[in-house]
Amino acid sequence: MIRRIVRVAVVACLIANCLDLTTSIIASPVDRWYDTPKRAAWEWAIQLALVLPLVLLAARQAPRAVAALRALPVPRNALVVCGLFFALEVGHIALRLETYPFSPVAMYSNAVTTPPPVVQDTWRYLVIDHSKTLQMLSFERESTAASQFLTDFDYRTAAVATQYSRTRAVFSLVTEQLAAQGLPKPLIVRMPYSTRTGVPIPGPMERFEPLLPGHARDKR
């Protein structure tokens, strides 16, 4: 049992070493906020040397793996097509390469070295509701059952609306859906808020009215 645990741990370390090398080969867009330190020559040498046992192990296990694949009750066409797709995805994960429809699933894997500022800005839609109260519009909220103002707004539409919030198309869509409920045109404002609480900081807010298509894609 102990021998098996040690063996699994050693193989896991060898795979981790290999992944460390392969994920370093191609620069990923998620690296743009953090410049990963370069390896020294001796580190390269040790890590590359440690690839060899893994290759030997893989070569030793290959006949067993092939036999196991052949023993699967899977039609040959399915084995080839689905197996190739699976292998390509594994390759993209190992190289941190995103080429649709393959992905290393690297969303939110960017390294950051500083905390967010205590006060930061965001562009928000403000809506006057039926009780004449100013409300902040959340596209994510509108995509759920907790929706307040918009109808027919699923999470994908919410993602697009968030990313392109200051474009005329999104503004028109929101305006139309509010008008259908008898509510006035929304305001788009740059709003400072506390990152401690999320509460907006009172003061003058910059207003934005999209007149041209294709404005800034970033919501902030």
Q: Does 208 bind another protein (CB under 8 A)?
A: no
Q: In what order do the strands lie in the sheet with 187-194?
A: 134-137, 119-128, 187-194, 206-208
Pairing of strands 206-208, 134-137: unpaired
* Residue 155 engages another protein in binding (rule: CB under 8 A): yes
Contact map string, positions 37 to 56, toward another protein, x by CB under 8 A: x-------------------
Q: Of the two residues 40 and 59, which places its CB atom closer to another protein in the complex?
A: 40
Question: Least distance from C-beta 78 to another protein, angstroms?
Answer: 3
Selected binder of another protein within 105, 179, 180, 201 (CB under 8 A): 105
Q: How many CA atoms lie within 13 A of 204 on its CB side?
A: 1
Determine which residue in the list 99, 181, 185, 206 makes contact with another protein, applying CB under 8 A: 99
When asked if residue 156 is in the footprint of another protein (CB under 8 A), the reply is yes
State whether residue 136 is helix, strand or coil: strand
Give the closest residue to 219 by CA, choosing from 174, 167, 151: 167
- The answer to whether 167 and 208 are in contact (CB under 8 A) is no
154 binds another protein (CB under 8 A): yes
Q: Count the residues of the shown chain that bind another protein, applying the rule CB under 8 A.
A: 89
* Contact window for another protein (CB under 8 A) among 50-58, 127-135, 150-158, 180-188: 150-158
**How far lies 182's CA from each of 43, 83, 134, 150, in Å?**
67, 55, 15, 12
Stretch near another protein under the rule CB under 8 A, chosen from 49-57, 117-125, 178-186, 201-209? 117-125
Instruction: Give the end-to-end CA distance of the chain in Å, rounded to a whole number.
Output: 55
Q: Is 81 helix (H, G, I), strand (E, B) or coil?
A: helix
Closer Cβ to another protein, 59 or 199, answer by number = 199
Q: Is 135 in the site for another protein (CB under 8 A)?
A: no
Say whether residue 114 binds another protein (CB under 8 A): yes
- Find where tokens 């919030």 sit: 165
Stretch binding another protein (CB under 8 A), from 55-63, 75-83, 126-134, 179-187: 75-83
Strand (E) or helix (H) holding 159: helix 155-163
Pick from 44, 163, 184, 185 the residue near another protein by CB under 8 A: 163
